Amino acid sequence: MRYLSFFVLFALLFASACNESESTSETPAEAQPVAETAPAPRAPRDQTIEEPGLASPESVIGQDGFYYVSNVGKKLEPSKKDGDGFISKLDTAGKVVDLKFMKGLDAPKGSAIVDGTFYVADIDKVAMYDLATGERKGEVDLSAEKTIFLNDLVAGPAGTLFVSSTDKSKIYQINLADGTYAALATSAPVMGPNGLWYDADANHLYVVTFLDGANGKAGRLDLNTTPATYELLDGYLGSLDGLVKIGDYLVTSDWATQSLVILDIANGGTKVGEHPMSLRIQGPADFYYDAATQEFWVPGMQMNKIFIKTSALK
């Protein structure tokens, strides 16, 4: 009865913050223990960020109370080297702290943060920025691969990054120590790789694909084998983009249904629900799940908006 347990769990959505109960203790006030200062819990929310400066937002990632949004540019031209891409910095309230915190990009997409460095895929390179200052630190140039659609990024085993190349149907592993890279050897081709998620405990790399005709699938690469064993999860087809693993489930964004779709890993990737956003999202791209606040930050790439929704999915 995995489905039953799932929906019981999913019913916790939008749970309100617990009310403090009144104390019935007769202990004098001066004898009460002093409570430790702790951050106030964030109230559940359903919020739309509609900042005029957002320009085809493709990816969101967060760390230490700030969220970073990759903007492809005013025109939705994800493979054009036009120099109008940038990274915006937002606070926890969804307010823009610095619209163009990181500049000098063409069409930035997926991003990752490792040891104070912000990495972002940008057409045929992975650019590096100082997360604290927004200053550019360098890049890993993959133009020799003739790719024009580096897409998602995820931190892999210590000191490495994985980046998907959707147009070349390859996943590259970058060595952060020296900037070298190599295509990941797989037991079968991974066609149209898009969103990535690394499970460090199992040493598995999950991947969703974006293929013509909404024929993308979810799959898993076992990195404990050489080449990495590629296993398709055949339960669902779509135009799949972002990816997060939460417990026994994968959550992926699907351009075909304009929603976040929840897949049961143990049941072959079968769809068991949709995350209840307020509306259909046009261009739901590389979203971010904040485990601490149980919030999804979902870019509406074709709407120039970002949607924030609290969820108790575990």
Which residue type sits at 6? F
pLDDT at position 122: 98
> What does the DSSP assignment read for 7-61?
HHHHTTTTPPPPPPPPP---S-GGGSPPPPP-PPPPPP-EEEE--TT--SEEEEE
Look at the block and give the residue holding tokens 């609290």: 310
State the CATH class of domain 47-310. Answer: mainly beta
Residues 6+ apart with CB under 8 A from 204: 198, 220, 221, 222, 223
Confidence of residue 43 (pLDDT cuts 50, 70, 90): confident
Q: What is the pLDDT of residues 3-37, one digit of tens each?
A: 334 333 333 333 333 333 333 333 334 444 444 44
Kindly state the helix (H) or strand (E) to which residue 3 belongs, with its residue range. helix 2-10
Mean pLDDT of 114-125: 98
Q: What is the pLDDT of residues 180-221, one digit of tens each?
A: 999 999 999 999 999 999 999 999 999 999 999 999 999 999
Which residue type sits at 286? D
Confidence of residue 172 (pLDDT cuts 50, 70, 90): very high
Q: Is 53 left (phi over 0), alpha (psi -120 to 50) or beta?
A: alpha
> What's the pTM?
0.87
